[in-house]
Structure 1
């Protein structure tokens, strides 16, 4: 049950994904693409007074590096950052690599896939165990495919991503669509923890090598361990893909356009939407500076906060 394969082992890849809910493919992303990403990353992280939405806190955060020179917070949707076109494109070049669309086709039997949500992690923030279905999924459910891209060799003390094999076949915790803003998130996290204890699930760390990609099912329980050594980064990208032909659960489906890879689609943004995004960005600083830091977050993803 190693779960690690090469890209050409298509039958074994599909069989392992169906059985265990995840699969790891080695040597998927060209090292040159990763090097190109880090070239723009080094410039990006020096940006002064830049603000973004973070995945780990689900709040606006300021771009800051810690004493190890790592960006402190994870970044939500790095392919859509305002005024950061080089960084956006470098991330998209990795996520939309042709090898990714070929592997997605192996898993879904669909030719085209739409990028729904992306993330960038410089360091591990220690993510609570969860099933993606609670946050986002296809309609009908269970057809979304998520990917985690290792941009460096992952050290065991770096807060490794983990999966719970075969948990996609177990209990599914759903979200009440009538509850807005994920205000029941703490209750959801407690339910997942209860399932893990009752089923004696054992999280399996994913110590991927640079250029490898982990694919997983939206019902699979997964997360990330806390960082045990602050000198270790865990540079990685995450993307969620919706196979073309499916809707989004409880959401409308926006128009799509192709990236450089015609089989990987992105949401189409109108000029008005881009203008609104720019205006929101200028407001981020004010929101960050004046928000009540003691106000509880409705969807805290850092495991250390529970």
Structure 2
């Protein structure tokens, strides 16, 4: 067992072996036990949901199409187009956003494999079905290679189902994740506490730091346990939209942590953004799930927007920030009027 710290200074005891890991691992067919543990703890680990060949195939396509590309791709942390940022090991350090929406002309095999073999696969859809109670609607996805430490947070602050707290997410390990490579961590049972509502004061265009401070205060006040489960290639961790979670800093310069993350709501639910905007998403039926394609670069209008974002980043960012601020103020005013 290794003792590490989260980005905000909280202590985590990271298991090196299955025997040290307090998180049980469930077989994919054990859907009843998966649901029971998920409901009680706000997360669950499924052992070997994907076979090794599937994990190896998507990693090979990542190297061949994404990592070899010198142009712009939408990124997870910023949601804007950026070039690959490589570390000394040659790993991409700025994760990409929405694998199902990347340019099908530049990344055809990667987009197809990620969408059909991972995101809408029978394996992942069955797992989501177990915790959602119906077939999933995939609303967002990301691919990580080099570790980017993530502060403690709840996904619901950013996105959720219209039925707050019913969205689920999956973290798919594409390789054995070393205990010092930047493990994913969760606070068990934190989904049962009151969530920190997204409002104009603490939003991404307001005092964003205050949100993270409030989460850390909650973890300390309630003396929450933090777990960083041992995940091997093909394992999947599911967690609830209200579960506090994040990722640790990497302490191993020689180990990557290749993984895919995606978020899903029940097919019958509408999508909620920033606790402000409810949307009936347009989706495609692919494989065993419905899948939304935000900013799908298969569409001409989105390629035009992408060109503007790439060539006029500051102006576009200013417009986007002020649009969000206006939406948040309008939402607050409406809530006060109703109240």
Q: 1:77 to 1:166 in 2, by over 3 A?
A: same
Q: 1:94 & 1:282 partners in 2: Cα distance?
A: 29
Give the structure 1 partner of residue 299 of structure 2. Answer: 274
Give the structure 2 partner of residue 303 of structure 1. Answer: none
Q: 1:85 aligns with which of 108, 111, 117?
A: 108
Indicate whether 1:94 and 2:115 are aligned.
no
Give the structure 2 partner of residue 76 of structure 1. Answer: 97
DSSP-derived class of the 1:114 partner? strand
Indicate whether 1:238 and 2:249 are aligned.
no
Give the structure 1 partner of residue 13 of structure 2. Answer: none
Alignment of 1:215-294 (within 5 A): 215-249=238-272, 250-259=277-286, 261=287, 263-267=288-292, 274-287=299-312
DSSP-derived class of the 2:260 partner? strand
Q: 1:72 & 1:12 partners in 2: Cα distance?
A: 36
Give the structure 1 partner of residue 195 of structure 2. Answer: 172
**Native 8 Å contact 2:270 2:281 kept in 1:** no
Q: 1:98 & 1:139 partners in 2: Cα distance?
A: 25
Name stretches of at least 5 consecutive residues in structure 2 with no aligned partner. 1-21, 316-320, 323-339
Indicate whether 1:6 and 2:31 are aligned.
no
Once the two structures are superposed, what CA deviation does each residue of 1:22-46 show, in whole Å capped at 9, x if it has no partner? 0000111122211221221111244
Give the structure 1 partner of residue 163 of structure 2. Answer: 140
Q: 1:128 aligns with which of 151, 159, 162?
A: 151
**Native 8 Å contact 1:56 1:125 kept in 2:** no
Q: 2:296 & 2:95 partners in 1: Cα distance?
A: 27
Once the two structures are superposed, what CA deviation does each residue of 1:104-152 show, in whole Å capped at 9, x if it has no partner? 2211221x21110101100220001000110001112111110000000
Q: 1:106 to 1:287 in 2, by over 3 A?
A: same
How many pairs are equivalent? 292
Q: 1:46 to 1:117 in 2, by over 3 A?
A: closer
1:53 Cα offset (Å): 2.4
RMSD: 2.8
Q: 1:208 to 1:104 in 2, by over 3 A?
A: same
What's the TM-score, normalizing by structure 1? 0.87
Name stretches of at least 5 consecutive residues in structure 1 with no aligned partner. 292-296, 299-306
Q: 1:64 & 1:245 partners in 2: Cα distance?
A: 38
